[in-house]
Amino acid sequence: MKLKTITVNGVFAALYIAVTYFIQPFGFTNIQFRVSEMFNHLVVFNKKYIYGVVLGVILANFFFSPMPVYDLTFGVGQSIISLLITIVTAKFIKGIIPRMIINTIVFTVTMFIIAFELKLALGFPFPMTYLTTAIGEFVVMVIGIPIMYYLNKRIKFERLI
């Protein structure tokens, strides 16, 4: 892996951690509103961003989660699965916006993994927890579409790495 790829991924991992730190009270409950999840859209620009996003999730869950063992297993697993699905499907979808829409759907649907985690760890009811975590993820990812799209106009994510 090139030094530039490692460096850029390190920067985005650090940004994921910093944003997660500031929204801690809203990022680890049954109503998750983790604004840093909008960084998941980076993989639609270049699949190499998976490393930075996953590293950010691992470190954020390790340092800030009230139940790090569960979040390191289920949260990181959900991120890896969703990112890989998006990377595979992106090969068949033209255009950044449609890819981000699919990415949003993938992350929203796979929130059942987080709902299952919260049921196991805290005894939350699965259906309601799935609904609330999926809504939170959907809102963050939808808000992230125009933000990441316009940041890309300035930063050029696909060529940055």
Q: How far is CA 147 from CA 97, 130, 138, 139, 159, in A?
A: 11, 26, 14, 13, 18
pTM score over 0.85: yes
Number of domains in the chain: 1
Per-residue confidence (pLDDT) for residue 66, from 0 to 100: 87
CATH number reported for the structural domain that contains residue 74 in this entry = 1.10.1760.20
CB 31 within 8 A of CB 71: no
Per-residue confidence (pLDDT) for residue 58, from 0 to 100: 98
DSSP letter string over 35-47? GGGGGGGGGGT-G
CB 9 within 8 A of CB 47: no
Per-residue confidence (pLDDT) for residue 23, from 0 to 100: 76
Neighbouring C-beta atoms of residue 23, cutoff 10 Å: 17
Per-residue confidence (pLDDT) for residue 30, from 0 to 100: 61
Per-residue confidence (pLDDT) for residue 31, from 0 to 100: 65
What would the two tokens of residue 19 be?
């944003």
Residue 57's domain spans which residues?
A: 3-160
Per-residue confidence (pLDDT) for residue 25, from 0 to 100: 62
Q: What is the mean pLDDT for each group of 10 consecutive residues in the chain (161 residues)? A: 95 96 68 87 98 98 92 97 98 97 98 96 95 95 98 95 89
